[in-house]
Chain A
Amino acid sequence: MSDHSGHHDVNYKKIYFTLLFLLVVSVVGPEFGILWVTLVTAFGVAAVKAYLVIENFMHLRWEKKLMKWMLTSSLIVMALMFFGIAPDVMKHEGRNWVNQAAIAATERGIGGHGEEESAGEAVEMVEAEPGVFNAQSQYNIACATCHGQQGMGDGAAAAALNPQPADFTDPAFWTERDRDRIYTVIREGAAAVGGSPLMVAWQNTYNDEQIEALTDYVMGFQPE
């Protein structure tokens, strides 16, 4: 306690009012809607505020070098983490890969929310989402991993599965299956009708209407 009490002739009140002034700046700045002004006033000012608090209120200014190194090293570790991970998570495509799901999510978001300003309407959008349910894209996300995009049971994960996923284009598959059975299997999983537990139930992911749509889509693979 006593070792650094001599230094504490800080004018805390002055620092406090500076902080309040900076708060006003950071709120008013972004109102102009200019990108760089927003960035500087929002994040630049936040950094200055944080610096003032850490140096004066937390008295880091009077601490030993050791302490500063400690904090700096944890910040460096964070920066390292960010730059190591960001190339994979932040970007949606690279030299040999495309993150289709993320691109789709972005497009959906921009298309859907573009004009909505007020909160109420945006909420409707969230609830209106099922209306634009697209059986094909959902099939490609949820089912194609095993059953394949063409329904031939040759999805990327199929090789590792035993028993093998069903091939919807195989006439033999359809000899003893009707639409109701497909619907039940999607909804409750194959184990519900005595099949493999590897075909899981989707009733918690999709509502009945969506499962109907998916059933129709799967029925579409049936050879004439």
Chain B
Amino acid sequence: MADTAVQVEHDHHGADAHHGPTGILKYIWSTDHKIIGMQYLFTGMFMAVIGGYMAYVFRMQLAFPGISVPGFGQVSPGEYNSLITNHGSIMIFWVAMPVLIAAFGNFLIPLMIGADDMVFPRINRLSYQIFLISALILLASLFVEGGGFGGAWTSYPPLSAVAEYNLTNLGSTLWLTAVALEFVAFLLGGINFIVTLMNSRAPGMKAYDIPLTVWMIVIASVLFMLSVGPLMAGAVMLLFDQTLGTGFYDPARGGDPILWQHLFWFFGHPEVYVVLLPAIGFVIDITATFARKKVFGYKIMLYTAVATAVLSFFVWAHHQFVAGIDPRMANVFTITTLLISVPIAELLFVMIATLYGGSITLKTPMLWALGFISTFLLGGVTGIFLGASGADIYLHDTYFVLAHFHYTFFPIAIIGTFAAFTYWFPKMFGRMMDERLGKIHFWGTIIPFNTIFIPLFMLGGIGQHRRIYNFEHFPELAEPWMFTLRQIATISLVIMLLFQFVFFYNVIKSWISGKKAGDNPWKANTLEWSTVSPPPHGNWPPAELPKVYRGPYEYSHPDREEDYWPQNEPA
């Protein structure tokens, strides 16, 4: 990092003299919310690379069955199971969660509400350390005898509960332990976020002056906290089934395997909204900034998010329509599932209405935000088919579900992350990212993404099932044209993964020699832009902690010459 940035940091240190460890320990043992946010961010990105590599390996096996995959070798059936299981688990629990909620939550919440840190900095650090241990346990599970867990990321018993069935005795136990620890880490982090927002807002910041990003992350934390408890209890029960030989999920011994499915999806479905809401928050903030326009319906947005959160507790059993649940319950869950598309559509309409009539600048973050809106829309629309129990019985467990899922999660976890990362990069590192490389990376990601999953929609429609190791074993799924579609998807994936090198190159290059960003490169209103970039420990000098005078989206106010009006500027 450049000398001047360090210089600025020192200047600010004068007053609040932080006596912590020095050297490298300063970064790995820090209680500063920004450093912890970065730790989460880079751990998450590292895991994303592993998850992407796994996707590459098993997609190669599916498109060209039996070939020796470059960089991996021949894929055995057991390895295939382990790869798809861990790809799913990593991308959701070790990429989407830590990056969207923990990384940006940690980095942004105190900055955006004008506080010097989280309310419990040391618990914050503990949360990251537990998360790191969980990631290490998961990675270790890939190398134990029998290989990593291969019972799918949903981990249904009896497959997951009985070592004789899944053939990965230690792998499944380590996987379950890692997931449970990861939940503990996010409970600690989530409580920290919630309490920080409730108690530590800058003077003058009322409920409707809080930027939507912060609201969304905190609503997501509450949602996570209320839904994860039963699954933690369920995970302990599954762990006992695996290790001690209890029969919680064994009907012959008085248990019930459906119970796990319920407990899993009681968490699993709200989880979708746990990761969705922060991404929505980033996108709406970015949209308002680059359209130079007030968010169309701040309160509508907020109430809709709350409604989504509440409704998300009523939809979980739509994952189990074919599991033999009570048909009357299936009716109820069909109705609630179709209902939840209403608030989600509303959120997208608010974004589109915010764009309407704005003076839009297509900088890289804005491109990502628009990419989010358009791809997530497709994901949402295909979900309608799956929500109706009648159609779902045909489509269940096909590639249609898989493609739908990726059309929602890719915009959330990948596009949302890139949007937020490119938007807040100047604040994080004090330098601008390269626009040209950023745009190359954007198009190189978004086009292949569509050509990966549109063929998979088609294959799903003709009934191609998920979790099949080699389609050559099924004559009706081994037609040449089907293999062509699979190969298109796989080649697109390879292209997309190659384009990520542009991103990493861009990050490193801009970090070292990017243009100096200044405090507020995007001319945005929210509080994080009122301090220097990158902000020092404590964010602002203690005497200059900001006060808030207005809402976060006062762009193009008619009475002002400037087209923005920072929240902390006295009237």
Determine direct contact between A and B, CB below 8 Å.
Answer: yes
A88 at the interface (CB under 8 A from B): yes
Q: Indicate if the CB atoms of A84 and B329 lie closer than 8 Å.
A: yes
Within 8 A of B (CB), among A83-139: 84-85, 87-89, 91, 94-97, 99, 101-102, 104-106, 109
Given contacts A88-B325, A102-B251, contact A200 B259 (CB under 8 A): no
Given contacts A84-B317, A94-B327, contact A201 B164 (CB under 8 A): yes
Nearest B residue to A203 via CB reads: B164
Within the complex, what minimum Cβ distance (angstroms) separates B179 from chain A?
19
Set of chain A residues within 8 Å of B326, measured between Cβ atoms: 87-88, 91, 94-95
Would you give the 0/1 interface string for A13-55, flagging 1 where the beta carbon is closer than 8 Å to chain B?
Answer: 0000000000000000000000000000000000000000000
CA distance A94 to B327 in the complex (A): 9
Q: Indicate if the CB atoms of B262 and A89 lie closer than 8 Å.
A: yes
Set of chain B residues within 8 Å of A78, measured between Cβ atoms: 230
Set of chain A residues within 8 Å of B240, measured between Cβ atoms: none
Q: Indicate if the CB atoms of B167 and A96 lie closer than 8 Å.
A: no
Q: Indicate if the CB atoms of B226 and A74 lie closer than 8 Å.
A: yes
Q: Indicate if the CB atoms of A200 and B165 lie closer than 8 Å.
A: yes
Q: Indicate if the CB atoms of B251 and A77 lie closer than 8 Å.
A: no
Would you give the 0/1 interface string for B248-261, flagging 1 where the beta carbon is closer than 8 Å to chain A?
Answer: 00011110101100
Within the complex, what minimum Cβ distance (angstroms) separates A111 from chain B?
14
B18 at the interface (CB under 8 A from A): no
Q: Indicate if the CB atoms of B167 and A197 lie closer than 8 Å.
A: yes
Set of chain A residues within 8 Å of B131, measured between Cβ atoms: none
Number of interface residues of A (CB under 8 A): 31
Q: Indicate if the CB atoms of B226 and A200 lie closer than 8 Å.
A: no
Count A-B pairs with CB separation below 8 Å. Answer: 69
Number of interface residues of B (CB under 8 A): 28
Most chain B beta-carbon neighbours within 10 Å: one of A85, A99, A102, A106: A85
Set of chain B residues within 8 Å of A106, measured between Cβ atoms: 254
Within the complex, what minimum Cβ distance (angstroms) separates B162 from chain A?
8
**Cβ 8 A contact of A84, one of B163, B226, B266, B324:** B266
A73 at the interface (CB under 8 A from B): yes
CA distance A200 to B169 in the complex (A): 13
Set of chain B residues within 8 Å of A94, measured between Cβ atoms: 326-327
Set of chain A residues within 8 Å of B227, measured between Cβ atoms: 77
Set of chain B residues within 8 Å of A97, measured between Cβ atoms: 324
Set of chain A residues within 8 Å of B316, measured between Cβ atoms: 84
Given contacts A73-B226, A162-B473, contact A99 B266 (CB under 8 A): no
Given contacts A77-B227, A77-B313, A200-B164, contact A85 B259 (CB under 8 A): yes
B42 at the interface (CB under 8 A from A): no
Nearest A residue to B251 via CB reads: A101
Q: Indicate if the CB atoms of A87 and B256 lie closer than 8 Å.
A: no
Within 8 A of A (CB), among B320-342: 324-329
Q: Indicate if the CB atoms of A85 and B167 lie closer than 8 Å.
A: no
Set of chain A residues within 8 Å of B165, measured between Cβ atoms: 200
Within the complex, what minimum Cβ distance (angstroms) separates B320 from chain A?
8
Nearest A residue to B333 via CB reads: A84
B153 at the interface (CB under 8 A from A): no
Q: Indicate if the CB atoms of B258 and A88 lie closer than 8 Å.
A: yes
Q: Enumerate chain B interface residues (CB-CB to A < 8 A).
A: 163-165, 167, 226-227, 230, 251-254, 256, 258-259, 262-263, 266, 313-314, 316-317, 324-329, 473
Ranked 3 nearest A-B pairs via Cβ:
A101-B251, A87-B326, A85-B262
